[in-house]
Amino acid sequence: MPPFVGYGIKESLVRGKLGRVWRVYKTTGNWYEVLLVHIGLKRSCVAQLRSGHTVLVSKEAWPEYWKHITVEFLKAKLRNLSLSENTASFEYLGKRIALHFPKEVNLDTLLSTFFYEDYVHLNIASRCVIDVGAYIGDTAIYFALRGTRKVFALEPYPYTYSLLVKNIKINSLDSIIKPINIAIASKDGVIHLLYTEEDTIAKPAYGSAGVEVVCCKLSTLIERLKRNFELAEDLVLKMDCEGCEYDAILGSDKETLRAFREIILEFHGDPKPLIDKLKGSGFKVEIISRNPKLNTGFLYAIRESLSLE
């Protein structure tokens, strides 16, 4: 059975409307009053959190309440969770983890990677993972703790790359995670990307605007890694690079793509070109989650055979 069967159902349950209601219920004693405020049938109330804290809830104060209960929700799984302005520390698989973020702790990152474990079904044990769009290293650290042989963590932006390097070092994972300051594109060279420390989402720049970043094709990356490291035969590719997945996948030949046993990526736009390319390269492809409102989603592909039909 494919590892991500049922993933979409889980997504809708834990992150859709039902999931949001469940989070309110699990963290708040008078959850029914809070929901009445949320749907507009009550102006405000004082939420009695099951942790003993109280939070004022109103339409205007909803974001602050949601932040409080998300932290409480995380504490149910991430033992000894501690948060400061831009740092989170917690226990995962028996190890104390610390993560430094660009501006403030991104709770959604903690939820996705360590609470919901978006990548738990990937077969990464003793394999090498190429993590494109490694951000501050949360997924690379997750892969390292779950038994991968080596993680090549690619992050193009200088500031987030510096945090990636810092997080690898403070968690003593230098021997497993190799950070690389590069972007993946359809050709080798340089690209320009708009970026500030306040806004860590990728935005393509045109002309000479933005930060100049070295880029290369997937095939070039694999060739360079083979020259410098002992790569496991079946690589795993994870991509979350705000649109670069189209250049990377569509600009790669069959041989390059089939170096990967499994591929999981977030798409931004129409996934059909990606699906067609991967299927044509001998992969079984599945859309495992989708957000029609944002036109984004996750795609999972697994190589079907060892030959190049």
Query: Hey, where are the domains in the chain?
Result: 1-76, 107-303
Which pLDDT belongs to residue 150? 96
Residues 248, 290 contacting (CB under 8 angstroms):
no
Taking residues 104-133, what's their average pLDDT?
A: 94
pLDDT at 11 over 80: no
Q: For residue 4, name the pLDDT band (cuts at 50, 70, 90).
A: low
Which pLDDT belongs to residue 9? 45
Which pLDDT belongs to residue 196? 57
Q: Residue 184 is encoded by which pair of tokens?
A: 């993946």
What's this model's pTM, rounded to 2 decimal places?
A: 0.89
Residues 133, 237 contacting (CB under 8 angstroms):
no
Range of weakest confidence among 50-64, 88-102, 112-126, 191-205: 191-205
pLDDT at 25 over 90: yes
Determine the Cα angle at 137 with ends 265 and 143, to 5°: 65
Rounded to whole angstroms, the Cα distance separating 54 from 304 reads 53
Q: What is the widest separation between alpha-carbon atoms in the chain?
A: 64
Which pLDDT belongs to residue 233? 78
Q: For residue 253, name the pLDDT band (cuts at 50, 70, 90).
A: very high
For the chain, give the mean pLDDT.
89
Taking residues 102-129, what's their average pLDDT?
A: 93
Taking residues 72-76, what's their average pLDDT?
A: 93
Which pLDDT belongs to residue 290? 84
Taking residues 82-86, what's their average pLDDT?
A: 94
**Side chain identity, residue 22:** W
Taking residues 78-96, what's their average pLDDT?
A: 96
Q: Residue 86 is encoded by which pair of tokens?
A: 């831009």
Which pLDDT belongs to residue 254? 96
Residues 267, 241 contacting (CB under 8 angstroms):
no
Of 294 and 44, the one with more pLDDT:
44
**Side chain identity, residue 191:** I
Taking residues 247-253, what's their average pLDDT?
A: 94
Which pLDDT belongs to residue 309? 43
Which pLDDT belongs to residue 73? 93
Q: What is the pLDDT of residues 173-232, one digit of tens each?
A: 999 999 999 999 999 999 888 765 554 554 554 445 578 899 999 999 999 999 999 887
Q: How far is CA 14 from CA 26, 46, 116, 158, 270, in A?
A: 12, 25, 9, 34, 24
Best CA proximity match to 199, nearest among 108, 103, 291: 103
Residues 58, 37 contacting (CB under 8 angstroms):
yes
pLDDT at 102 over 90: yes
**Does domain 107-303 fall into CATH 3.40.50.720?**
no
Q: What is the pLDDT of residues 137-172, one digit of tens each?
A: 999 999 999 999 999 999 999 999 999 999 999 999
88's CB contacts (< 8 A; 6+ apart) are 81, 82, 98, 99, 101, 105, 110
* % the chain with pLDDT above 90: 75
Which pLDDT belongs to residue 17? 80
